[in-house]
Structure 1
Amino acid sequence: MLFTKKATAILLVLCMLLLQSIFVYGWQSDNGDGTFNNPPLYADYPDPSIIRVDNYFYMASSTFVGVPGLVILKSEDLVNWEIAGHCISSFTGDKAYNLEGGTKYGNGCYAPSIAYKNGTFYVAVTPNGERTRIYYAKDVAGPWNYNLLGGSYFDPCLFIDDDGSAYLVYGGAWENQIRMVQLNSDLSVTVGSPRVILSYKNVEGAHLSKVNGRYYLFNAVPAQRLVCSRANNVWGPYGETITLCTAGKGGHQGGIVDLPDGSYWGYLHQDDGAIGRPTRICPITWQDGWPKFGRPGFIGQVESKYTKPIQDKPIKVPAASDEFNSDSLGLQWMWNHNPDNSKWSLTGSSLRLKAVTAKDFWNARNSLTQKGQGPISTGTIKIDCSGMQPGDICGLGMLGDPRGYIAVTRNPKRIIMTEEEVVKATVNNITSDILYFRIEMNFINKQAKFFWKDDNRDWQQLGPSITMGFDWQYGTFQGEQYAIMNFNPNGSSGYMDVDWFRLNDIPGDNHTPQPTPTPSPRQAFTKIEAESYNNHLGIQIEKCSEGGENIGYIEDGDYVVYKNIDFGSGAESFQARVASAADGGNIELRLDSINGPLIGTCPVVGTGDWQTWSTVTCDVSEVKGTHDLYLKFTGGSGYLFNLNWFTFIEGNNDGYLGDLNGDGSINSTDLQLLKRHLLGIIELTGENLLNADVNKDSKVSSTDFTLLKRYILRIITVF
């Protein structure tokens, strides 16, 4: 599917301004105008290794303990990528890979290296603490087999010279050395003894390239910089070393790849907090025989936007959403460890996950994961939990460090939200078997939020936001991931059916969204319950001490929307019932959009408790007719206040400008009456004629008609 430049630009603006919590697309780097935005893949694709074979680029990336693992991606232009396959079908040699007797998070597939020789793709990888494997296949989509080498080579770089000779370059940062060993012709065993080819403090992550007869060795100094050494012989000496870029300006762990026109581009990953380490690319500028990262004038910098390396290739993004109606899982999915294949199946219309026995989410096998995407993304699932048994915990998790989930339980049937296995919020009296769970990952403010709904109720946030992070030592060594999970601490034969997973609510090919009906108008001068909103960002509903419910857990920047509020002939003030155990904040009253006209700001002060209620008021500027009302909440950090209800106080108006038939509303009927008056078909008289003079210049003319039309179309909000 091709997305227009305009649609992409709108998406990016919405993401960066945080104007809404639901987006139509995932990250698309290609702007559709010959340029792209870095990173090409706004997700955790660390330790990249990229080669070109004819007119295609292929990238291998670390996937750690995920299965199937060691992802291979394919692109025609280094910008538009799609997932082609995985090399690793399972991990062997340690029961912890099956989540038996421990976990292997942060282990598994590290820093792979891809190469090509005589019609065969090769990928070298060293599962952490194990012997190095060299996978091989005729097609990157697989099937893949592998040769097991006799040693364990840290961060192996697979290099094949012009004469077909193959080498393995390797070394860890603690060694302060990079070594190389030769491989035999079919890359199945090493030949001879390793040699030290570079001594340099803290280097690892080697990449070796040959350009115009000279060898260039790229190495990462982790989280600090990318350096390059060069030599005229593959064995060195690599006596000269320069810094190509620092982690702050570009990143580390990368190399270069040639384009069909003979130019070069660089690639590397950049530490980026909770999302992980996305891969970025940039043009290479050759200076004094060195491949400098960046364009002239910006050497050492990997910028956020460039002209595409190759033009006129189709826009592609990796698969993300899945309707689960195929006979295989999409390539975007990885199990959190080796799966128990007896505990899951595809029914033809859904994914059936049987409950696995585990003490908690962290130790639960068969959690089905995919990468969170930046800058903001939402993952949503629809489930049928009628097959659950007592003790089952099934739903949608965020796997990383920290971690959390929103899930349904049985006996009692309720929905819970957890952080680090601690229940933070609960909804009781759940009756529906069809439930929807959503997690919003906002990598701009590092906050994750958890939501639920059923077919009778709109989305509700549950529990507090979780501040997302990244932990290589005790976490997963990956960016935060979505995880569909079902476990039971005591064992169970229960199951849940997952109808679909949608990233940013992208529907399946055969899904036709139903139009949302326009809500009936509501009078501004009646008491409007705060929980009766039509849309919102960030708030939750809770029980109110004054009866019914109120909205709470309000933070700076959250908002609620009430559609079609009829202000009649005008409002002069606003009242709200509020409570706050903190310092309070402000309620901004805006019309028709979150950045629409500001008609008033109502201050809220602390009341001593979250359920100690007080009424606050403020004046509002002139507002008439029907509008969507946005209440935007602003203030300091933490929760601000709760809101029970609000109303407006009607102004004392001698006339109602624009209301030409005296029905209390301004709409297309009034516009037609004014048109007929101006054409001499009918004649307005009395108060109706006075109300037709909307610009108050003591005459009724085409200017009034234009203003009235613009008002009805909501181009203007006052006359």
Structure 2
Amino acid sequence: MSPWLPDLNNGEYKNPVIYADYSDPDAIRVGDDYWMIASSFCHVPGLPILHSRDLVNWTIVNHALPALVPHDYFSAVRHGQGAWASAIRHHAGKFWIYYPDPDFGIYVITATDPRGKWSEPVCVKSGKGFIDPCPLWDDDGSVWLVHGWAKSRSGICNILTLHRLSPDGERVEGQGEVVIDGNAISGWHTIEGPKFYKRNGWYYIFAPAGGVATGYQAVFRSRKITGPYENRIVLEQGSTPVNGPHQGAWVGTPSGEHWFLHFQELPATGRVVHLQPMRWENDWPVMGTSVAGNNGMVGHPVPIYRKPDSPRQPVAAPATSDDFSSPEPGRQWQWQANPRPEWACVDTAAKALRLACMPMHETGSHWMTPHLLMQKFPCTDFRVDVTLDALPAQAREGDHGGLMVFGYNYAWIGLANNGGHGARLVHATCHNAQDGNKEQIIASIDAPAVDKLHLRVEVTNGRECRFSYSEDGRAYVQMGEVFHATSSKWVGAKVGLFAACKPETQSDAQMTFRQFVVSPLVPAA
């Protein structure tokens, strides 16, 4: 059972509809199917694709990017780089994703089936600083693209630029022009993440502003695609606990309802996905629970609401647990860089995941280790259990692996070969790993004399992690104090598995894991 299910089974849902770090969501409807994508940054495979029939129950069905380009560049860990906020559209019988890499440019990929293979990335516009692209195919056949700017690469931000694209949508034609200048709007800052629409002869750009943690959702409209655009705030926190509700997608149901998907950033957990009811008044969208203000109607997020008008769907959530019965690890797993085949293999007959002990980074921490196999925190309160086989005979001094919670601060529990001391059960942490700090061993004991060791981490309040072990899978012993998880560069904390050896060494050993189980956990009183 998933630790978070938004469907209340009574015709209503609760927010978030996805309590995990599927950040910067964009979504479309094609027929009766809804498709959502999210940012993935340096994590591979990238650009997860999720599917739903009711906007509430989502499953992850694919990744659009099996590897990042340039491939060699992303064979190393590039925290905060890679695939940023993207847009998905359906046009001319194809699905299109425009995604930005702020260090290389804007790319486009296509597929006839979002569950299948996507095309190789084509660079639409090369250069630094371009982020958050979104296309629009206009009624006259012209193709347009709007995007934001990353100040860290370009020195500018808070503006949105419009480009005309070639008819095939694969390259920019001519010079772009600024269509929205946030610096000219008193009190506004950090306009980014635009989504482009056309309705009733109006051009609309939905764009967040005000920053990730405390911002709001704005909408701009114009009768001409090049502007000028008038603006309105349509969704803000108000008195709700949903900070910074913004950046997402307007979608409609077959019956004519309107809905808005957006994110909320939470400490450690990351950017979780909410669903707001939406309606149109005087050709302006109104989202959430509407209240008077802002020259019209501004909305506040809803905690519980009736489900969208759609056929009843099975209760679902993005995958978490994995029994390693399939030839590949489940779609919830990601590496920290483009993976190599020798890192992992699944023994389906034994229902076991075998991770090769690959060299950890020379810094003495795992911050820059690419072969960490991680997945997102699935909510604020949950438990992870996994079984780890005893160290293999091939293990050398320094070989180690186990269960990890990863972020700027990270911690793990597992087995290590300490040479003359033999196999040890170790609990280690690293704080502010991004600053080059080394791991510290918090506790170390002789490894229990069992063939299989049961490892566990319990997470409460979104960040309080308690690591423990068991020899029999029933009685657990906590190791170390409470560890506080943190986010990482633009992403939430992750939990997962790893195997490693000393820096600049080689090992023939593999660590064997079985039954990775994520389950609900009632918060501590």
> Are 1:206 and 1:217, in contact at CA under 8 Å, matched by a contact in 2?
yes
Structure 1 residue 66 displacement after superposition? 1.1
Task: Return the match for 1:110 from 84, 88, 92.
Answer: 84
Contact 2:48 2:63 in 1 (8 A): yes
| Counterpart for residue 344 of structure 2 | 344
Letter in 1 for 2:382: S
The equivalent of 2:387 in structure 1 is 382
Q: 1 CA distance for matches of 2:22 and 2:60?
A: 12
1:393 and 2:392 correspond: no
CA distance in 2 between partners of 1:495 and 1:267 (Å): 42
Deviations 1:510-549 (A, max 9, x none): xxxxxxxxxxxxxxxxxxxxxxxxxxx99xxxxxxxxxxx
What TM-score does the superposition give when structure 1 sets the normalisation length? 0.64
Say whether 1:227 aligns with 2:218. Answer: yes
- In the TM superposition, residue 254 of structure 1 has moved relative to its aligned partner by 2.2
Stretches of structure 1 that go unaligned for 5 or more consecutive residues are 1-23, 507-536, 539-556, 559-719
The answer to whether the 8 Å contact 1:372/1:441 transfers is no
Matched, 1:158 2:135: yes
> How far is 1:456 from its partner?
7.4
Secondary structure of 1:154 counterpart: strand
Q: Contact 2:385 / 2:518 at 8 angstroms: preserved in 1?
A: yes
Q: Note the 1:448-527 alignment, pairs <5 A.
A: 448-455=465-472, 458-470=475-487, 475-489=488-502, 490-504=505-519
| Paired position in structure 1 for 2:163 | 181
Aligned residue pair count: 478
* Structure with more of its chain in helix, by fraction: 1
C-alpha contact (below 8 Å) 1:379/1:505 kept by paired residues: no
Work out whether residues 355 and 494 of structure 1, in 8 Å CA contact, stay in contact via their aligned partners in 2: yes
CA RMSD for the aligned pairs? 2.2
* 1:408 maps to which of 415, 429, 437: 415
Q: For structure 1, which segment, 393-402 or 255-264, has the greater mean C-alpha deviation from structure 2 after superposition? A: 255-264
Q: 1:457 to 1:78 in 2, by over 3 A?
A: closer
Q: CA deviation at 1:458?
A: 1.5
1:175-229 Cα offsets, whole Å, 9 max, x none, are: 3321111222222112232121111132111111122221111111123221111
Cα distance in 2 between the residues matched to 1:165 and 1:143: 27
Amino acid at match of 1:210: K
Determine the structure 2 residue equivalent to 1:272.
266
Q: How does 1:673-712 map to 2 (within 5 A)?
A: none
What's the secondary structure of 1:300's corresponding residue?
strand
For residue 227 of structure 2, what is the aligned residue in structure 1?
236
Distance 1:218 1:206 in 2: 5
Deviation at 1:468, TM superposition (A): 2.3
1:379-406 Cα shifts (integer Å, max 9, x gaps): 2211213423331111010111221111
Q: Does 1:119 align with 2:66?
A: no
C-alpha displacement of 1:362:
1.9
1:650-704 superposed Cα distances (whole Å, 9 cap, x missing partner): xxxxxxxxxxxxxxxxxxxxxxxxxxxxxxxxxxxxxxxxxxxxxxxxxxxxxxx
CA change 1:453–1:164 in 2 (3 A) is farther
Shift of the alpha carbon at 1:263? 2.4
Could you tell which deviates more after superposition, 74-83 or 294-303?
A: 294-303
CA distance in 2, matches of 1:62, 1:478: 9
- List runs of 5+ in structure 2 lacking aligned partners: 151-155, 184-189, 293-297, 431-438
Paired residues for 1:263-342 under 5 Å:
263-297=257-291, 299-311=298-310, 312-342=312-342
Take 2:317 and 2:2, find their aligned partners in 1: how far apart are those partners?
A: 10
User: Aligned equivalents of 1:116 and 1:344: distance in 2?
Assistant: 35
Q: Shift of residue 424 of structure 1?
A: 1.5
Task: Give me the identity figure in percent.
Answer: 28
Matched AA of 1:440: E
CA distance in 1, matches of 2:453, 2:366: 20
Q: Distance in 2 between matches of 1:25 and 1:266?
A: 24
Q: For the Cα contact (< 8 Å) 1:380–1:505, is it kept in 2? A: no
* Residue 276 (structure 1) shift: 0.3
Larger Rg: 1
Is 2:144 the partner of 1:167? yes
Contact 2:391 2:415 in 1 (8 A): no
Does the CA-based 8 Å contact 1:90-1:338 persist in structure 2? Answer: yes
Would the alpha carbon gap of residues 430 and 185 (structure 1) be closer, same or farther in structure 2, given more than 3 Å must change?
same
State the secondary structure of the residue aligned to 1:491.
coil
- SS of 1:338 mapped into structure 2: coil
Determine which of 124, 138, 148 is the counterpart of 1:149: 124
Name the SS of the counterpart of 2:476 in structure 1: strand
Distance in 1 (CA, whole Å) between partners of 2:398 and 2:423 is 10
Aligned to 2:295: none
The verdict on how the C-alpha distance between 1:430 and 1:165 changes in structure 2, with shifts beyond 3 A counting, is same
1: CA distance between counterparts of 2:404 and 2:441?
13
Asked if the contact 1:123/1:158 (under 8 Å) is kept, the reply is no
Q: Of the candidates 431, 435, 445, which is equivalent to residue 453 of structure 2?
A: 435
Tell me, yes or no, if the aligned pair for 2:320 and 2:378 is still in contact at 8 Å. Answer: no
